[in-house]
Amino acid sequence: MRIWKQLLLSFVVLFIGLCLWVSLSPDAARTLVSMGAPQAAVSLIQPQLDEGTKTEGAGAVASSQRSGGQGGQRATLVSVRPVENGTVNDRLSAIGSGEAIQSVVVMPQATGTVNEILVKSGQKVKKGDVLARLDDDEQLIERDKAQVALRSAVEKSSSYKNLQSVARLDVLDAQIAEESAKLAVSTAELNLKRRNIVAPIDGIAGIVAVNVGDNVTTQTSVVTLDDRSEILVDFYAPERFATLVEPGAEVEATSMSRPGQVFKGKVDSIDNRVDAASRTFRIRARIDNPTDLLRAGMSFQVSMRFAGDSYPAVDPLAVQWDAEGAYVWRIRENKPEKVRVSVIQRNPDAVLVQAELQTGDKIVTEGLQRVREGQAVRIQGEPERVAEAETR
């Protein structure tokens, strides 16, 4: 079907529907006239419109005079909400992961069989405490052999020094043999000492991963030690906070294991770059843990507060859009004026904007479709003002 036929058919269908609406609805004709339709054309469909229009004309004029509208128009009823003061970038909230200030996986320094375990899970240990011992029979023999060789070297060196007939070169060889024997004894004692697995830091032992009789190597994990006197919490912040966060800033953290309990700490360090993929940067906070309530690996809800930037806050319903951008209707002396705004941040209960607005300004939130520039309005909930007649 050609386009002009489609348009003609659509016009006919709309005209028939309009006629039916005017014929069946008593208020349809008045609505069309108020929208600007010629009264003479509408009267052809609903003849009784002329009488009703004449009857209501006088009442409409009186009503418009009472409402104080300009040019006989009734003031539009609107709802308003005052402008409030809002802040942006004033609070940082993130999820972080905690770790002990020191954490060590203890491994043997030698290969052998576990003969004795001297630590239990959850036990506090000091640096240098023996955690376990390996078999040391071979090392004891090697130490004794080295001590015997040392005694022999010492006797020989002493004898050569007291004899005048011994060549000077032989005396020097005896002294070198004595020094070598001393080094051999030191090596044997070191190998024997390494049969003890000791704690490298102060901390609390985790679950012991070996049993007596296990054959271990230098790659075997025996137990983990955590120094939990302080907890380090790593979390990531958006790029916009990069210039606000400083070392030493106050931090508050809550843990899922302790709901409602707030742990205070400070920013310990800040990463030197922003991740290009996520546009975030890493922050490390240090939280005191004197009562040992926190554990490494816990998740924390971390929050920080800043001064932030202040902006006017308006109701989300008040922001309208047209071809030039966003705007709101501000009421002054019962007349609306359009104010251009730039949206800074959208929140569920308010929109922060950049505009020439003051705290307390009345902004239209309902009845926006009927508001026109300079047209008188009436604010819902306020008493209706009675305007003086323009002409007496």
- Domains with residue ranges and CATH for the chain: 3-47 (no CATH), 76-86+310-379 (2.40.420.20), 92-100+224-308 (2.40.30.170), 111-216 (no CATH)
For 308-341, give the DSSP string. -EEEEEE-GGG-EEETTEEEEEEEETTEEEEEE-
The structure's pTM equals 0.57
Q: Give the largest Cα separation in the chain, rounded.
A: 155
Burial class (CB in 10 A: 0-12, 13-18, 19+), 114: buried
| CA dist 156 → 180, 192, 273 (Å) | 13, 27, 67
Q: pLDDT tens, position by position, for the chain (392 residues)?
A: 577 777 778 877 777 877 776 666 656 666 665 665 665 665 666 555 444 444 444 444 344 444 444 444 577 888 889 999 888 767 889 999 999 999 999 999 999 999 999 999 999 999 999 999 999 999 999 999 999 999 999 888 888 777 766 677 777 888 889 899 999 999 999 999 999 999 999 999 999 999 999 999 999 999 999 999 999 999 999 998 888 899 999 999 999 888 889 999 999 999 999 999 999 999 999 999 988 899 999 999 999 988 777 889 999 999 999 888 999 999 988 889 999 999 988 888 899 998 999 899 999 998 888 888 888 888 887 766 544 333 33
Tokens (6 digits) for 363: 């902004």
CA distance 179 to 303: 64
CA distance 281 to 273: 6
Could you tell me which of 72, 32, 30 has the C-alpha nearest to residue 52? 30
Radius of gyration (C-alpha) of the chain in whole angstroms: 45
**What is the sign, positive or negative, of the torsion defined by CA atoms of 141, 144, 150, 155?**
negative
Overall residue count recorded for the chain in this entry: 392
Residue 256: what residue type? M
The per-residue pLDDT for 199 is 95
Pairing of strands 309-314, 299-305: unpaired
The span from the first CA to the last CA of the chain, in angstroms, equals: 62
The per-residue pLDDT for 19 is 74
